[in-house]
Structure 1
């Protein structure tokens, strides 16, 4: 229910209006934060339901979370609920997952990665007894990076080169010039343990052999806050955020594809939809892919830094092949999160990131949410998705032709390792290819995590949270600072608190009503 003041603001054309492009977690979090800061908010989503990469597929009685499944830093969600005078725990049931991941090597060796310090020491001692002390040093380094990279800088807007220069001494001290793999190698000798300590960067789209070691903070982040799962699926968090927005008087409009960000006198002033409708606004926030935003939504005449040439030449994350499937039986021995590694690690990543070659072998992430929440499948069944990192669309793969053979190869691999007899047990199936990332999710080049998180594309070097191109345009999501992953995109929305004026302080533009009671605004 809206309070009388919220109901009044919802239809009051004198209250500043914010249009948000995209309803991924970054966009939904931005909407809540702007709603709390005195804005009327309209969220526009091109799909038929909110969530973006957090979309939910329901098919044959199975519930498939399309994207994010590893929930860390729950306090970032708790903050959003607190801004609305509510408690996250009253609306969403977050359950800890243990182990965080079960890592299965190609030779059948397993490693249970968890937040239990003693259990982790035992696992390290079992896998690499000579590296127990080195593992502890790696974790200490991870904590030091977390204290600076996440706590101090994760919600700071890097708008000037001097902002970057100011943190360089800390980054050098923390060896941010190393790669994720390089920092692991400094502390541990065993190759398998090095893999265990570095695969997490792939969960945010980074190649551990080129991604800055700043992303090693993930190890401590997980240790401190744990890995969680929302009962009902990740979509429960999406539904909860939409409820918060509507409770503030905001709106979420689905099936609304934005074609252009409108600019007048150097400032964003609204958007034009595919239908031709124009929604005018005092501020525009894009949760669309950053490269897509600049390449396809903001006309070239308004871009000086993010030109077509620069966007094309930037380095992008890998893409993903995702197979969602339901089985008529259960596999109780399979963990909630499993990392199933192929015969190659560095060679496969070179194929994906450097050579842009679709290899015959693969490493997989297998998600079995019914290990925690059986309600996501019919009784006696299991819900899964499996994803394989693959090159983005520069590889030139014809996914219309290759998707089914690739899926069948993954099915065969799972049948031989984790899910015996799988082919005979599958009763529901759905696929997402790199082409789908571009066509359905507007991900430039089909890159699943936007720009690759190398040092030269981090912080100030990424597209800024406050657009460098036009006033009153802001960016949130994986392609801006601080980067991909749920903590990253939620933190990108947190940055807005520092750079978007409070609604009461925003200089208003001349306005007159148009359809749906939204103001037509022109920069003064």
Structure 2
């Protein structure tokens, strides 16, 4: 252990999502003996894996958009990602389909993109070029420079405010996209990305328009064996190779503190994991309200977080078919008949909308090994209100909603779906709440609006409790794989700085 690390003998990371795993790898690589504690029987958090009737289903994130942030985790110890997991390019990035029959293949070829844009509106080609330039500037300022930098105090926010104002980050994603293109199909095509990180395109800061440039720069990828292979064969194996300790099926009941400092993580079965450092990759409200319920210093933060706006939830159907559909693209967005009105109802409720827009994931198009021979595997998700926005009894509504969505898919894109159906399961907002401890069943934690960005999100290091840190979607920079991996980098930076200061003081 290095000299500056000798005062930090142990660290415990709660939760094994992309953020928790990335932070655990960084701490272990830095010489801090780290234990990863996971509630469920498999690693991954939202990136869980279901195996059912011979089919493999990635439960959550499926779009890898910045391989470099993952490669960096392996490079910390002189290793290479490609020696653990193969990433395969996906093209088109997405296929977009509208109910009027229009389609758009979102590819990384500039000439082909412009040809498709011109088919919708010739005048929007120049507008798209200007939008891409704007998105590139956002990428540099909002992701490359700030995506892994902690915002510990208000002064840190003030320092970057001029750049954010100059980029008009106070405007919404949809508003900025509309400044560049006039066709409504194209406005939707270049604004829907914020939904992938829990943001309403009509309310989310335009800084999230950087996702377009991020995809254009680094591409869209899919791991051979699925996202679960990236988790288990990649990040978990790397952590073990570094000497990290892991424990599954271990539900944490509380974070123990003494004199304003963390001292241990205590499991529901009574096991106690002593620690100088505790980092929570669990839901931020769950962390402060439940795991720190005995610590008075945590109550103001818990109350503050519960007053914030949370992202929508998701209704997910995982299903396998007894036939292949090679004509499909890997990632498909099916826009419904409404856009603005539907999104407004998804984020504000008060009920489940009658119509829906869907994301269909067809991974066996890229990797046939995820389904039995001659079969194909899918998941389809529908953004829905969280539990407070629409008090729905999902034990009753879930099967009905599943059938509505499957009927829609059969009529629109998967003929014969019901007769070909081999296996099926659902995951509802209530499951997000109970399985993942997600506050209100939110799928992406805090909603990414400007007043809940950077300093205004949960902080990477707690302001009052020494040795307590956070990582994941509720912290800066937010949800999505690049976001939570960036969060881990920011949190690791704060932890290592704190340890150096502690060593110098002693």
Under a length normalisation based on structure 1, what TM-score does the superposition of the two structures give?
0.93
Out of 375, 379, 399, the residue aligned to residue 373 of structure 2 is 379
Tell me how far apart the structure 2 counterparts of residues 175 and 356 of structure 1 sit (CA, whole Å).
31
Instruction: Tell me, yes or no, if structure 1 residue 390 matches structure 2 residue 384.
Output: yes
CA contact (8 A) 2:310 2:442 kept: yes
Q: Which residue of 1 aligns with 2:39?
A: 46
How far is the alpha carbon of 1:503 from its aligned partner?
9.8
CA contact (8 A) 1:304 1:469 kept: no
Q: Which residue of 2 aligns with 1:513?
A: none
Q: State how 1:172-211 maps to structure 2 within 5 Å.
A: 172-211=165-204
Instruction: Tell me, yes or no, if structure 1 residue 26 matches structure 2 residue 19.
Output: yes
Instruction: Tell me, yes or no, if structure 1 residue 162 matches structure 2 residue 155.
Output: yes
Out of 298, 306, 324, the residue aligned to residue 301 of structure 2 is 306
| Cα gap change, 1:504 to 1:406, in 2 (>3 Å) | closer
Q: Which residue of 2 aligns with 1:462?
A: 457
Instruction: Look up the SS of the partner of 2:355 in the other structure.
Output: coil
- Output one character per residue of 1:166-201: Cα deviation in whole Å (capped at 9) or x when no partner: 111000100000000110111111111000000010
CA contact (8 A) 2:65 2:219 kept: yes
Instruction: Look up the SS of the partner of 2:214 in the other structure.
Output: helix
Instruction: Tell me, yes or no, if structure 1 residue 445 matches structure 2 residue 440.
Output: yes
Tell me how far apart the structure 2 counterparts of residues 355 and 260 of structure 1 sit (CA, whole Å).
33
Q: Which residue of 2 aligns with 1:324?
A: 318
Tell me how far apart the structure 1 counterparts of residues 488 and 76 of structure 2 sit (CA, whole Å).
13
- Output one character per residue of 1:424-444: Cα deviation in whole Å (capped at 9) or x when no partner: 111011110000001001111
How far is the alpha carbon of 1:14 from its aligned partner?
8.2
CA contact (8 A) 1:38 1:503 kept: no
Out of 282, 286, 300, the residue aligned to residue 292 of structure 1 is 286
Q: Which residue of 1 aligns with 2:228?
A: 235
Out of 339, 342, 352, the residue aligned to residue 345 of structure 1 is 339
Tell me how far apart the structure 2 counterparts of residues 145 and 417 of structure 1 sit (CA, whole Å).
36
How far is the alpha carbon of 1:280 from its aligned partner?
1.0
Q: State how 1:257-276 maps to structure 2 within 5 Å.
A: 257-276=251-270
How far is the alpha carbon of 1:262 from its aligned partner?
1.1
| Cα gap change, 1:303 to 1:107, in 2 (>3 Å) | same
Tell me how far apart the structure 1 counterparts of residues 55 and 114 of structure 2 sit (CA, whole Å).
38
State the 4+ residue runs in structure 1 displaced beyond 3 angstroms. Answer: 502-508
Q: State how 1:91-130 maps to structure 2 within 5 Å.
A: 91-130=84-123
Instruction: Look up the SS of the partner of 1:388 in the other structure.
Output: strand
Tell me how far apart the structure 1 counterparts of residues 43 and 142 of structure 2 sit (CA, whole Å).
30
How far is the alpha carbon of 1:502 from its aligned partner?
6.7
Tell me how far apart the structure 2 counterparts of residues 501 and 352 of structure 1 sit (CA, whole Å).
40
Unaligned runs of 5+ residues in structure 2 are none
CA contact (8 A) 1:65 1:233 kept: yes
Instruction: Tell me, yes or no, if structure 1 residue 413 matches structure 2 residue 405.
Output: no
Tell me how far apart the structure 1 counterparts of residues 499 and 427 of structure 2 sit (CA, whole Å).
43
Instruction: Look up the SS of the partner of 1:393 in the other structure.
Output: coil
Under a length normalisation based on structure 2, what TM-score does the superposition of the two structures give?
0.96
Instruction: Look up the SS of the partner of 2:226 in the other structure.
Output: coil
How far is the alpha carbon of 1:93 from its aligned partner?
0.5
Q: Which residue of 2 aligns with 1:35?
A: 28
Instruction: Look up the SS of the partner of 1:307 in the other structure.
Output: helix
Cα-Cα RMSD: 1.7
How far is the alpha carbon of 1:18 from its aligned partner?
0.5
Unaligned runs of 5+ residues in structure 1 are 7-12, 509-523
Tell me how far apart the structure 1 counterparts of residues 284 and 408 of structure 2 sit (CA, whole Å).
35
Kindly tell me the number of residue pairs found equivalent between the two proteins.
499
How far is the alpha carbon of 1:129 from its aligned partner?
1.7
Q: Which residue of 1 aligns with 2:356?
A: 362
Q: Which residue of 2 aligns with 1:431?
A: 426
Tell me how far apart the structure 2 counterparts of residues 15 and 435 of structure 1 sit (CA, whole Å).
38
